[in-house]
Structure 1
Amino acid sequence: MSGPTAPFLVKICGLSTPETLEAALAAGADMIGLNFHPRSPRFVTRERARELAAMARDRAEIVALVVDFEPHQAAELAADLEADWVQLHGRETPEQVAAIRAATGRRVMKALGVAGPADLAVIPAHAAVADLILLDAKPPKDAAYPGGHGKPFDWSILAELDPGWRFMLSGGLGPANVADAIRVTRPAGVDVSSGVESAPGVKDIGRIRDFIAAARRAAEQL
């Protein structure tokens, strides 16, 4: 994968209402994420997702977040939404990532949970088949759905990564700490969901704006 020469990416994930989607677009989000995991508080129905995707089209890249989908399921969803990306947030193997990428014809982002240095060992195999790696905090063992659940991991362990790997950072980010996260990890972009919410699944327009502004300011210093 190439080094971080492409424009810095800011992704707002788990959007579920026209008002908060519009706020993210107006604030300059590069990517908007629609969550199709039914156990997540950010789950959207296919009907609502089509509405939101239509609002975002040609203004930001549309990301369909799925968990352990079969290739044909991912392909049908991506075609229905006219999604730009499919985000794989389950236990997909590199072989499954490659199969979904081939079936959908879309770019694929693979999320990998990180809690300690040992978790970085799986990155090369996934990076070889995915278009982008998303490093997220590993969820608690009893979690009902994937993701960081608002808790960051120890960013300093990423100092051991090959500097040629291009990744997005997620997990416990918010307006107050995103600048530090960018400074420490120097990612290709950042992704936030619960960090811009007032309650699980309820996005806060002010926090969305603040997060994007803080991330942009920090990225300019890279």
Structure 2
Amino acid sequence: MELVMIWLIPFSQRFPLIIDLGAVALEVFFLNLVVHLSVLRSGRRLVYALGGCSLLVELLWIISRHGSAAAVMPVPWIGSLALLRFVLFVLFFGLVQVRLVRSLIREPFVTTSVLMGAAAGYVLIGLLGGVLLNTLFLLHPVAFGGLPSPPDATLTMASLELLTTVGSGALVSSNLAAQAAAFTITLTGQMYVAILIALVLGRFHRRVPH
């Protein structure tokens, strides 16, 4: 699902609605995957609540940017909505990540499903980073330079580049807010990989007879 979204990002430069509809599809996908297919039964109500609130705010976000009300929407209101959208995204997908990792480490063997689940969690961090950068752009645009309009696709790809430690020229390197955002995305990705490997290897060693 995440790979499909990544390949749709170039098209969203011309059709910005694609990336927002992709976020809705991603939320619905993970609600179904984690809530219905996960072996973890505790905390499902919280997942439902956060997912529902995030979907509602995402729909309001789409209307505010692409609907008939977009032209008359006050800029401060859009900034507040963007911040709320980001907070709900982090809470919902953060909980999804925790449940995903807990499910993965319960698997007795490293299978294709385990590898795909681990990769999905990693790419999800990059997509969340794109939401972070787009929110920062609305609240603090001087942290970026030379972006096309709209910047959503460019900033999402910039987040994926930061996730893989390649770096991105979309951020102004001398701006502290840009530095903090870049550091957060890169560190989160590296910590995810390190923690997941440690948990999987730890479980493997506990299963190996001495």
Normalised to the residue count of structure 1, the TM-score between the two structures is: 0.28
Higher Cα Rg: structure 1 or 2? 2
Q: Name the structure with the higher helix share.
A: 2
Q: Name the structure with the higher strand share.
A: 1
